[in-house]
Amino acid sequence: MLLLKLLPVVLSAAPLVAAAFPWGEMDEQALWGHVLWTPFLSGYRLKDVVLNVLVTLPVGLAAAAVIRRHPLLTAVGIATVVSVLCEWAQVYAPDRYPSGTDVVCNALGAATGVALLEAGWPDWTARG
């Protein structure tokens, strides 16, 4: 039963995978010199921060909608795990720069989605 409840939350992470996973050329050797380790201190662009938050909002919205116990923990956990896996894969992509900032922003986006739904937005009961 829990797996069925988690399915919409996991599927809502698909935009993150589509955007963050390195679908192109991959090296056999890890490119550790490309990693921007320290969140917000080792280089970031505001546009990337906003996009990383927005891409994981659906994870938080889905978790708050279907998970009764600990939706925040569920959303942040799923967004963080998926984000870390995508960033780790980027270590092998010569044209990508994995970033701690991206992981933090993805977790923040999921948390924001939970907070928005719990605060009553969007109002799914409103009719135009």
Give 6's pLDDT tier (boundaries 50, 70, 90).
confident
In this structure, which amino acid lies at residue 110? A
Contact 32, 87 (CB under 8 A): no
Q: How far is CA 101 from CA 1, 29, 30, 67, in A?
A: 34, 23, 19, 27
Tokens at 97, concatenated = 């720069």
Position of tokens 């917000």? 40
> What pLDDT is stored for residue 124 in this prediction?
62
Nearest-angstrom CA–CA distance, 83 and 12: 13
DSSP letter string, 53-104: HHHHHHHHHHHHHH-SS-HHHHHHHHHHHHHHHHHHHHTT-TT---BHHHHH
pLDDT tens by residue, 50-88: 999 999 999 999 999 999 999 999 999 999 999 999 999
